Amino acid sequence: MFVEFTIETPPLHIAARRCGRAGGPKLRALHGWRDNVASFTPIAPHFAEHDLVMIDLPGHGRSSHRASGAWYHFIDYCTDVLAVVEALGWPRFSLLGHSLGGAIASILAAALGDRIEHLYLIESLGPISTAEEKLPGLLAQALRDRQAIAGKQLRRFPSLEAAVAARRGNRDMPLSETSARLLVERGVRAVESGYEWSSDPRLTLTSAMRLSEAQVRGYLAGIRCPTRLVVADPPMPFVDVEHMLARTRVVGDLRWTRLAGSHHLHMEMPAEVAAALRRD
């Protein structure tokens, strides 16, 4: 059973969902880019002995959008997550992260080594990196995107079924109808002409700043807690396999498993993913 609640981290309202055993080991779950807490609905029962709290990251699901003039820098999510943990009064806890959420969890585990007990990662080990020579062009594109955002319209759908079909439309990251519906039902809002995404349009903009691969590995080398990683086979197009393998070698206590599946394999095959994550 899930309990819905809101965590106030002024000026943001963070929508959250809780399940598991009160008083159990503390576990924070962080979803992927443009997903929401429904991402963890299928896998949550496999962590039933934990006090599991999942949040919609700012700009996602039912949480607040950032104020006008603010942006979605990757590192700022770390501040958001820490504010939630402090509001919950958790001195020590574990992290479960998928994709973007896994990247955030990785960096937090490195920075807060004395507070993180276990790190469970799905399709992520650190954030996406960019080669140093490409950084000026990346920033130039980000600035152009920011100038154009004022005229950007949210895509609208005449029905939930149309939104579900759109969510399933990415051939590189296939989703079952059931999984897509879970994400869509929490990720849209009703409007006069149907439905539109509730996520902040600014999430779609080019990142203004990214780390180099050497910087990412520098963070990952600071992880001291037991770390378990599950990745999809075949790898997603945005995954640099050579970089991923190099990253696994800098984390001290890391065990990783490759499972046949797609990017949202924790939704499509939750029992297998949970077993791999929890394997000693």
- Rounded CA-CA distance 58/103 in Å is 16
Reported as a pLDDT band with limits 50, 70 and 90, residue 1 is confident
Q: Give 141's pLDDT tier (boundaries 50, 70, 90).
A: very high
Q: Which two tokens stand for residue 6?
A: 């809101």
**Count of structural domains within the chain:** 1
Is 99 a known active-site residue? yes
CATH of the domain at 58: 3.40.50.1820
Say if 145 falls within a structural domain.
Answer: no
CA 233, CA 210: separation in Å to the nearest integer?
26
Q: What is the pTM of this model?
A: 0.96
With contact defined as beta carbons under 8 Å apart, do 27 and 7 qualify? no
Of these residues, 39, 64, 99, 198, which one is catalytic? Answer: 99
Is 269 contained in some domain?
Answer: yes
Domain span at residue 63 reads 3-131+212-277
β-sheet bridge partners, residue 97: 30, 121
**pLDDT at 136 (0 to 100):** 96
Q: pLDDT by residue (tens digit) across 99-131?
A: 999 999 999 999 998 999 999 999 999 999 999
Give the residue from 201, 22, 31, 7 showing the smallest Cα distance to 105: 31
Assess if residue 181 is contained within a domain. Answer: no
Q: What is the mean pLDDT of the chain?
A: 96
Rounded Cα distance, 35 and 183, in Å = 6
**pLDDT, tens digit, 9 for 90 and up, residues 25-84:** 999 999 999 999 999 999 999 999 999 999 999 999 999 999 999 999 989 999 999 999
